[in-house]
A and B are shown apart, each in its own frame.
Chain A
Amino acid sequence: MQTKPSALKALDIFSLILLAVATYLALVFAPTERVMGDVQRVFYFHVATAWVGLLGFVAAGITGIIYLRTQDLKWDLVEQAAVELSLVFFFIAIVLGSIWARPIWNTWWTWDPRLTSASIVELIYLAYLMLRQGIEDPDRRARFGAVYTLVGAISVPITFVSIRLFRTIHPVVIGSESASAQGGFSMTPDMKTAFFFALFAFTVIFIDLFWNRIRLGQLQQKVEQLKLKVME
């Protein structure tokens, strides 16, 4: 418990290497897109971070349910870690997307389903963190947190659908494209390599950070227990 497990250390180093390679693939190896130019290179990390943010979002919802079923504080820790990671990665994805959208859509921001849903997730998770901060009792904090992530996990897809009822201009690079999308393109094999590698790299980085965050939470709990012991 006190020392970092060696598997985690190895994973730390591995994910650093993966990040470096993914950066190389995205910035150097992948060919420049014909129409959009170099700004399209944002795409590799943009999709990867959004994917990882989504992973965190789903993980938070599921662990919320598991916590409510088991009432085991261990799951609360996992849920909190997932929320924090999802918050950070969605934020990175939104910023990267804006950088791309400025030259391509000629605006930093548009109220598209994906953009709006990602930002709503951010707001829900900020509210989640504020909610937790306002509650002292750890059991109640965990229960409320789980209920709120669960409610959020169900509400966000409905938000997505409801905005989708308007039209969207967000391009769908994988799968079918909607007619009004702007800035779509098809990938060459080299681009696909860079793209899938970035997805893989960020998934590993996510797992690594997730693990680290859960371990941090466990240490926090231990410190709190020791503090209580000292007070007695």
Chain B
Amino acid sequence: MSQRREERRSSYTKAIGAIAWKDLAAELRSKELLSAMLVFSLLVIFIFNFSLELDVKTRNSVTSGVLWATFAFAGTLGLNRSMSIEKDRGCLDGLLLAPVDRSAIYFGKAISNLAFMLIVEAIVLPIYSILYNTNLFKPGLLLVILLGSLGYTAVGTLLSAMSVQTRTRDVMLPILLFPIILPVLIAAVRASGGYLQNLPFDQILPWLNLLIVYDVIFTAIAFMVFDYVVEE
């Protein structure tokens, strides 16, 4: 009995791994999603540079805001693309036919979306550091970026699965996502700003807690309702 349960569990994680790996392998070959996200994020940073006049004085206080706005915008690009590929090529139907729990599809997609986001962030951060001569490599900041991206993709994967099935598709995702994702952005901006301005840890901690709570709650919610989103 317990052996069978063990088997089922291992097939579940295998299914998640297979779905995430499929996305990553396809992306490594075509690189269309990552390159679009990257170029787009660099353009957003350029726009911010001229619209905000990022001089030395203001830079410290707005850097975290600029970074998170960039990630949020670039993220919708990736989420949209990653789901519409599934939809357009009929791949989603194939996945739904597979004899695995549907939440495995959600976790697989969420993991690959998170990976794309982290890759983009890993390239944007050093470029930003060079352009503005600020050191962004603080372990705390990296933790905030990980937690923030986690919450972002947890909700984003669920909502993008919904938005690709509507008539207006691409337009719909940011409209659905941004009001829901607001707590993550507030907390992530505050926490990253705290680390960049070297605030004491007890002022950053509430924001970190908030991020963790949000991540846990929304991963759980998405896990529970994903079935209803992909049901035919």
Separation of A159 and B210 alpha carbons in the complex (Å): 10
The answer to whether A134 and B166 have CB atoms under 8 Å apart is yes
Complex CA distance for A146 and B207, rounded to whole angstroms? 29
Contact B214 A158 (CB under 8 A): yes
Minimum distance in angstroms from A232 CB to a CB of chain B: 24
Stretch of B26-34, B97-105, B167-175 that contacts chain A: B167-175
**A113 smallest CB distance to B (angstroms):** 11
Given A143-B228, A147-B228, A161-B210, A135–B182 Cβ distance below 8 Å? no
Check A134–B172 contact: CB distance below 8 A.
Answer: yes
Interface flags for B148-170 (1: CB within 8 Å of A; 0: not) read 00000001001100110111100
Contact between chains at B186 and A159 (CB < 8 Å): yes
Q: Are A124 and B180 in contact (CB under 8 A)?
A: yes
Which residues 205-220 in B have Cβ within 8 Å of A in the complex?
A: 206-207, 210, 213-214, 217-218
Contact between chains at A144 and B217 (CB < 8 Å): no
Q: Are B225 and A158 in contact (CB under 8 A)?
A: no
Total interface residues on A, CB under 8 Å, equals 28
Stretch at the interface among A40-48, A149-157, A171-179: A149-157
Least distance between B139 CB and chain A CB atoms (Å):
23
CB-CB under 8 A from B214, the residues of chain A are 158
- Do B179 and A127 touch across chains, with their CB atoms under 8 A apart? yes
Q: Is B221 located at the chain interface by the 8 A CB criterion? A: yes
A147: which of B179, B213, B225 is its contact (CB, 8 Å)? B225
Interface presence of B231 (CB below 8 A): yes
> Do residues A131 and B183 form an inter-chain contact, with CB atoms below 8 A?
no
- Asked if B47 lies at the interface with its beta carbon under 8 angstroms from chain A, I say no
A12 to chain B, nearest CB (A): 34
Asked if B176 contacts A143 (CB within 8 A), the reply is no
Q: Which residues of B contact A155 (CB under 8 A)?
A: 179-183, 218
A168 → chain B closest CB, angstroms: 14
Q: Is B119 an interface residue (CB 8 A)?
A: no
B196: A residues at CB distance < 8 A: none
Contact A144 B162 (CB under 8 A): yes
Q: Is A120 an interface residue (CB 8 A)?
A: yes
B228 touches A146 (CB 8 A): yes
Q: Once the chains bind, are B210 and A165 in contact (CB under 8 Å)? A: yes
Known: A150-B221, A165-B206. A143 touches B231 (CB 8 A): yes
Question: Which of A127, A144, A158 makes the CB contact (< 8 A) with B229?
Answer: A144
A-B contact pairs, 6 of them (CB 8 A): A135-B165, A147-B162, A147-B229, A151-B158, A154-B218, A165-B190
Additional 9 contacts, C-beta under 8 A, given A144-B229, A163-B186:
A127-B176, A148-B159, A150-B221, A151-B158, A151-B225, A155-B180, A159-B183, A159-B186, A161-B210
